[in-house]
Amino acid sequence: MGLAMSYLRVPPVLEGERDPGAIARLIFGVADWRRRQPAPQVLDLGRGWQALHYLITGDPWDGRPPAADVVCGGRLLTEDGAGELGLDVIYLAPDRVKPAADHLASTPYGGLAGRYDPAAMASAGVQDAAALKPGADQFRPAYEGLARFFQAAADEGQAVYKVMAEQS
C-alpha cells in the first residue's frame, strides 16, 4: 500500500462556485469522479509522485516554488472541511499554476535526471524508492506529461486539484 496522486484541471469558478473546498466536494464527493471528467483534464501519476517531486526539487516533501508547486505545493483542502471526502485534496490556484508551468517548460527532464539516485532517494524517505529500477528515464514520460498538463491548465487559466489516496 502507498499513496497515489492524480491531478484534475478545473476552471477557477465551477457552476457559480468560487470556494475551492466547495468545488472539491462537488467533484470528488463521488467515487467515480475520474470517469465523469474529460480525459485530458485528468493526469494520474500513481505512486511515482514523490519520486518526481524529488527529481524536480531535490527534496521528498519541500522545495521552493514554483518547482515545489508542481507536485507537493498548494493548499491542503482537507484542513478546510473537505476531509469527509476520504482522500486528500490539494488546491493550486491559477496564479500559481502559470509559474509552475513556466518552470516545467524551462527545465528539460535531462537537467533533473542527475538527481536520480535510488539509494539516496530511499535514504530521504521517498515512497517506493528502494524498488526503483536503474535509469532515470523511467520518469521522463510522467515529467513530460506533467509539463503538458500544467501548460494546458495555464493556457486556460485553470486551477489544479491534486488528489492523494491509498493505492495497493
Pairing of strands 42-46, 2-10: antiparallel
Model pTM score: 0.94
In tens, the pLDDT along 67-94 reads: 999 999 999 998 655 457 788 999 999 9
In tens, the pLDDT along 85-133 reads: 788 999 999 999 999 999 999 999 999 999 999 999 999 999 999 999 9
Distances from the Cα of 167 to the Cαs of 28, 45, 63, 130, in angstroms? 16, 12, 25, 17
Q: Which of 157, 161, 163, 151 is nearest to 12 (CA)?
A: 157
The grid coordinates of residue 150 equal 500544467
Identify the residue whose cell numbers are 467515487: 31
**Complete domains list, the chain, with CATH:** 2-167 (3.40.1760.10)
